[in-house]
Amino acid sequence: MEKGSTNLNGLLSDKDFLKLEKEYRFLKRAREFYRGSMNELERECYAVVDIETTGLNPEENEIIEIGALLIQEREIKDVFSTLISGSSPIPPEIEGLTGIKDEFLKNEPSISQVLPSFLKFIGEATLVVHNVDFDIVFLKTHISKILKTELNNKSICTLKVAKVLLPNLGNYKLHTVAEYLKIPISTRHRAIGDAEITYQIWMKFLTLLKDKKINTKSDLEKLLIMV
């Protein structure tokens, strides 16, 4: 996303807002108050990430799509979204689930081309993922095997947070949590669509955590220690 454009929430970018602040001084005061009222968790830089794969085994199966949203002070600042070509056909059950077909991937970059760009995109941001034990394990396995380096970013699992904040749900699948929180679901089982839903969930969780006086990363770690 280009700096100076309107972000995905329809809000003015920093550059546009600064122009208005020169004319209307109260906007600067309002913005400073808003930022000053944010706690540590709200101010954190996050990369909300989702992937699609050809199966459940990170040692054998491939990543065929990565979607990520870069978040700063609750706002979407940039978008990463790409399909990824693979070395084996997409299984019929994965095609049925995601709608991704082999012909979609023919001219797409390989995983070895995508991963460096992805790592540059996320930088040192804290990763927010719905089910860290799947997405992060897949990413770590492929990054280690292909790039011979490690994914060391800290991560937050919205599935685990949901178990604490919403203890009476029947299950904690992404769509179940989203529906409970009244978040519209337009696209499922595509990486950027699921990343956008995860972002909406995390924004609502930040508010719920703040209400519970969970304001810092340390507070959150203590809350999740038994999950």
CB 17 within 8 A of CB 4: no
Instruction: Let me know if 152 is exposed, middle or buried by CB neighbors in 10 A (0-12, 13-18, 19+).
Output: exposed
The 3-state DSSP class for residue 162 equals: helix
Nearest to 50 by CA among 178, 220, 170: 178
CA distance 139 to 58: 8
Beta bridge partners of 61: none
Decide if 189 is catalytic: yes
Residue with tokens 């519209």: 184
Half-sphere exposure of 86 (CA within 13 A, CB side): 21
Alpha carbon distance 28, 22 (integer Å): 8
Of 211, 51, 218, 210, nearest to 127 by C-alpha is 51
Pick the catalytic residue from 130, 142, 175, 189. Answer: 189
Cβ burial 29-63 (10 Å sphere, 16+ → b, else e)? eeeeeeeeeeeebbebebbbbbbbbbeeebeebbb
Could you list the active site residues? 189
